[in-house]
Structures are given as structure tokens and as C-alpha cells.
Chains A and B, each alone.
Chain A
Amino acid sequence: MSAVQATVPFETVRTPDAAGRPIKIHTRNVKVTYGQKQALHGVSIDIAEKAVTAFIGPSGCGKSTFLRCINRMNDTIAGARVEGTITLDDQDVYDPDLDVVELRARVGMVFQKPNPFPKSIFDNVAYGPRIHGLARSKADLEEIVVTSLQKASLFNEVKDRLTEPGTGLSGGQQQRLCIARAIAVSPEVILMDEPCSALDPIATAKIEELIDELRANFTIVIVTHSMQQAARVSQRTAFFHLGHLIEEGPTDHVFTNPLEQRTLDYITGRFG
């Protein structure tokens, strides 16, 4: 079935961004294969700066695969091949001369399950700035840690126990710790792969509130299985299905009056 679909020319339905935000990430005809299996059949999308873009779609549709192309996380997977172009501020992400470590400092990532290092809360956040040499002094480093924890809305809850292990925090706190760790290296883009799927509704609400605050300074791309979450937190929504980008447009339109039948069927719960 996928072989047939790959030969059919595919047109993504797009509605332009009325807010006219500048584009942070351009991707053109991105194809990914894992060994013999083609996971993405040519995805082209422009991701707006300082906005939240949500990727939705059923399991196996390629949305996480695509997300992981943006900071080259697929490089670490044996047999994965990425074609097409992805540029971050007009810089080719797949340029062989590009320093991947530096790229991942610019494009941070938050995962489905909170994964703090088995270190203190302080060291979890200080780790990135240390290895990237972002702090000139101990006081500098402390300031970065405190601001990052504050930006992640976690500081007040942990300020008296910064030396305790990060793994001792609750799930929601751990996830905010991971967000603090991601923003400590001052990234431009934050990729979030189902950041709330392991959290209770209150912890989820806190993360969503945080995402809303973070978009003033960061470009955020979030993969989520919760349609309501996508509708709540994002300004743009992209719907993936079977390795194709089906539709892409303003979140308000996509969830009230999508243009593509497949998008409608998916968001109204008519297939899965």
C-alpha cells in the first residue's frame, strides 16, 4: 500500500499563517526510511517562529519521526536514512560540516517520559551550560540554573532542595525539570514529543501553561496524541497520516472546519 502511495503525487492542504510570523524552520520534501520501510513520503512544512506548532495523527503516521529529523535525533538510529532539506534560519541542518552537538543546543528536546539525569536538581539543569561552556563563573552558572528553573515554573517548588536528586521529584516536576534543562542552554527551538502523556491532568495543565509562556521566546513544536491539547496550546496544527503531511493550517481552523476529509475523520474520532 505504501509503495502505491509513494508513486501518487501528493499535495498537502495548506492554509497560510494569517499572523504572518517569520519562518524559523523550512523543510522540503523530507523522506525517511528505516531499512526497507519508508516512514515519511516527502514532508514540506514551514514552521513559524515564536509560535507553537502541533503535530497530530494516529500512531505510526510519522509525526515523531519528522520531529526527530529537526535536531537529527534520527542519526542515532541504525538504518535510518533522511532525504530532503531542513533548514534552521537558512542553515542546512544536514550540512556534513555542522556540529550536531551545537545543533542540539539550538534545538532542544523534551521527551514523552521525564528522563532526568541521576544527579541533583541543580546538576540536571547545570549540565548543558557546563558542557557548552556557557557559564564563566560559579555565580554565572547558579544564575542560569535559577532562571531556567523559574522559566520552567519549577523554582518555587524546589528552591530548598536543589542538591537532592532530580529523580526524587514527582512526574510533573520531573518533566518541568527536563524543560528547565532544555532551556538552560538558551535554545531557539524546543521539540516536545508527547510531553504530557505520562502526567496527570494537573501536571499536564501546568506544562500547557508553561508552553504558552515559553512561546514568547522559543519556537515550539509539539507532538501530541491529545487533540484537545493540540487545540489548547498550539497556533498552527499539522496533521500526519501514513507518512504524509495531509493538512497544515491555523489551529482554530483545523479543529473547527478542517479542509481535508481525513483530517475531519481523525479529529472527530472516526478512524484510528
Chain B
Amino acid sequence: MEHTVSAYDDDLKAIARMVTEIGGLAERAVGDSVTALTRLDIDLARRVIAGDRELDRLQRDIEDKAILVIARRQPMASDLREIVGAMRIANDIERVGDLAKNIAKRAVAINGVFPHKQLINGVEHLCEIALHQLKMVLDAYASHDDQAAGAVRRRDDEIDALYTSLFRELLTYMMEDPRNLTFCIHLLFCAKNIERIGDHATNIAESVHYVVTGRSYEDERPKADASIASTIAGT
């Protein structure tokens, strides 16, 4: 149902639109950063780095607008959750943008050729899953689909598991030949960034759940990142 004051509806719609917009920008930044990495496309990487400013600006705009609506309309219940949710989600998306920017910076820093093509495939695959998660959760936000958000949250362990196996693989290459170190460490950070993007998608899923239902998940979030337990001796 619409608000008695129609300008209030316009405010809420404007905030939701801005969140969708920043979400789209972040998706593209993540995709482009990994493409820049796999193709060692310095120009594309620089565009991703420059584009992060737009994400930061939008995140600030969303926050300003949200604060203004709180001050002006004293939102209650579902409206309040809508606004708090938008602020939280925009924050997560802004962090996703930072992580994409970091991947792009590493693509610039690697500045050469890959010693092992298959390693890149692993990162690419990880990125595909993370991007899919990001897309699904942004769709769940746009359609207020709590079930879809729950599915995203449950799938995060796939990314974690893949990241763990990539971690082990990179460790093996580093042990084989110290000349792989620089490259492998850059790649490891990229993989970690992507894994973190997956975590932000999970955060967003939790925010969507809160916006839609007014409740927080009570169970522990699924975790399958075993890299913390890995040691050189253990791999």
C-alpha cells in the first residue's frame, strides 16, 4: 500500500533505485577486474580503478539521502528497515567495489605473463561463482525475495571451499619454484578478494532477510574456508 504522503514513497523508491544502480556498477567492476587480470589488460584495469570513485560517490549519496529521509519522515517498522537495509547494503557494495579495484591494481602490478595458465582458470571460476552470488542477491533485494536471499547465503560455502583448494594449489606452486612467488601471491590476494566479495554477498543476503522479515538469521553462517587451518606441512 502507498503512503498517505506520496513524496515519502518517491523518497523510498529513489533510495532503492540508487542501491540497484550501485549494485550494477559493482557487478561490472568485479567482472572487469577479473577480465583485466586474466587478459592482463592494463587499460581495462585502469578503468576499473578510476570507476571506483563513482561507486564511492553513490554510496555517500545513498547515505545522505537515507539520513535525510530519517530526519524528515521518522520512518517506522518496514520503512525504517528498508532505509537501514539500503544503507547497509550500499556499504557492502562499496566494499565490493574496493575489492574489485584491488584486483585491478594487482592486474597492473603483475605486468607480465602467467607462468601457469591453469591457475588463472581457478581464479576465473571463483569469480564466476562470486559474481553469480552478487547478481542473485541484488535480484533478491530488488524483488524482496527472502527465499532467494537465503539460497545465496547457503551457497557461500561453495566459494569458501573453492578458495581453500586454490590456496593449496598456489602454495604448491610457490614451494616448487620461488620464482613463482610474486605472481602467486598477487593471485592469492585476488582469490582472497573474490572470496571476500562472496562474504559481502552473504552480508547483503542477511540484510535482505532483515528488510523483508524484520528478523536476523539465528543460525551460524555457513563456513567452509579451511585455508586458515592449512599449513605448508599439511598441504
For residues 214 through 272 of chain A, which have their beta carbon under 8 Å from a beta carbon of chain B? Answer: 227-228, 231, 255-258, 264-265, 267-272
Determine whether the beta carbon of B1 is less than 8 Å from that of A256. Answer: no
* Contacting residues, chain A, for B75 (C-beta < 8 A): 268
- Among B4, B78, B215, which residue has its beta carbon within 8 angstroms of that of A264? B78
Name the distance in Å between B120's Cβ and chain A's nearest Cβ: 47
Determine whether the beta carbon of A257 is less than 8 Å from that of B76. Answer: no
Determine whether the beta carbon of B77 is less than 8 Å from that of A264. Answer: yes
Determine whether the beta carbon of B80 is less than 8 Å from that of A269. Answer: no
Total A-B Cβ pairs within 8 A = 40
Determine whether the beta carbon of B76 is less than 8 Å from that of A268. Answer: yes
- Among B8, B73, B77, B215, which residue has its beta carbon within 8 angstroms of that of A267? B77
For residues 1 through 47 of chain B, which have their beta carbon under 8 Å from a beta carbon of chain A? Answer: 1-5, 8
In the assembly, what is the distance between CA of A257 and CA of B1, in Å? 16
Determine whether the beta carbon of B214 is less than 8 Å from that of A257. Answer: yes
List 6 contacting pairs A-B, 8 Å CB cutoff, sorted by A: A231-B76, A265-B1, A268-B3, A269-B3, A269-B5, A271-B1
* List of 10 A-B pairs having minimum Cβ-Cβ separation, nearest first: A257-B214, A267-B76, A270-B1, A268-B79, A269-B3, A268-B76, A272-B4, A269-B4, A255-B76, A264-B77
Name the distance in Å between A52's Cβ and chain B's nearest Cβ: 18
* Contacting residues, chain A, for B3 (C-beta < 8 A): 268-270
For residues 75 through 126 of chain B, which have their beta carbon under 8 Å from a beta carbon of chain A? Answer: 75-81
In the assembly, what is the distance between CA of A268 and CA of B34, in Å? 43
Determine whether the beta carbon of B77 is less than 8 Å from that of A257. Answer: yes
In the assembly, what is the distance between CA of A270 and CA of B5, in Å? 8
In the assembly, what is the distance between CA of A272 and CA of B76, in Å? 15
In the assembly, what is the distance between CA of A271 and CA of B215, in Å? 25
Determine whether the beta carbon of B215 is less than 8 Å from that of A257. Answer: yes
In the assembly, what is the distance between CA of A264 and CA of B3, in Å? 11
Given contacts A268-B3, A269-B5, A270-B1, 12 further A-B contacts (CB under 8 A): A255-B77, A256-B80, A257-B77, A258-B77, A264-B77, A267-B77, A268-B75, A268-B77, A268-B79, A269-B73, A270-B4, A271-B4
Q: Which residue of B lies closest to A257 (CB)?
A: B214
